[in-house]
Amino acid sequence: MKNRWIALYVENQVGVLAKVSGLFSGKSYNLQSLTVGTTEDETVSRMTICVTSDDITFEQIKKQLNRMVEVIKVIDLTDMPIHMKEILFAKVKNCSVADKAELFQIAQVFQVEVSDIGTDSVLLECKMTERRNNELIDLLRSKFQQIEIVRGGGVAIESISTSCAGRSEYFRLSHQQKTT
């Protein structure tokens, strides 16, 4: 079992998201995250899907997606150089002055934005890889009591240059470690 990534081009129509997500529940495939948005062609949407599965099931998933009339193209990103980011908001509440200072430090090191602040709370806005986001969440959990997390799921695109292949490889390996 390991994490795998699919980019899926679909018709931008009512019900297509339900059909795709319904496939995963109906056939007991393990869906980790699914994001969707329109592309440069407004009649086409692109989904980034992360699933946890073994090799045989993953082959089935790709075939099952392919046979849907509304699916235009299935791309297996698992072994491709890609750029992948996930948006994450972390709101830390009930902060003391010292807490706030620490949060600013954390934000600086993680290179994330402090996008809002109140008398006793701080909002961090992160656009990092899922793994980096996970690490940030772990750190915040260890330090603070009241945290609110909202995350959007990974969005990925194929790389242009090959030099970033190493980067994506690094992220992928970390995912495998996490799930094994």
Selected binder of other proteins within 1, 2, 17, 19 (CB under 8 A): 19
Residue closer to other proteins, measured from CB, 13 or 179: 13
| Shortest separation between residue 8's beta carbon and other proteins, angstroms | 11
| Shortest separation between residue 117's beta carbon and other proteins, angstroms | 40
Residue closer to other proteins, measured from CB, 71 or 90: 71
| Shortest separation between residue 63's beta carbon and other proteins, angstroms | 4
Residue closer to other proteins, measured from CB, 10 or 51: 10
Residues 46 to 75 in contact with other proteins, rule: CB under 8 A:
56, 59-60, 63-64, 66-72
| Shortest separation between residue 153's beta carbon and other proteins, angstroms | 22
Of 160, 95, 84, give the one whose Cα is nearest residue 129. 84
Residue 37 binding other proteins, by CB under 8 A = no
Three-state secondary structure readout of the chain: CEEEEEEEEEECCCCHHHHHHHHHHHCCCEEEEEEEEECCCCCEEEEEEEEEECHHHHHHHHHHHHCCCCEEEEEECCCCCEEEEEEEEEEEECCCHHHHHHHHHHHHHHCCEEEEECCCCEEEEEEECHHHHHHHHHHHHHHCCEEEEEEEEEEEEECCCCCCHHHHHHHHHHHHHHHC
Q: Which residues contact other proteins by CB under 8 A? A: 10-11, 13-15, 18-19, 22-23, 26, 56, 59-60, 63-64, 66-72
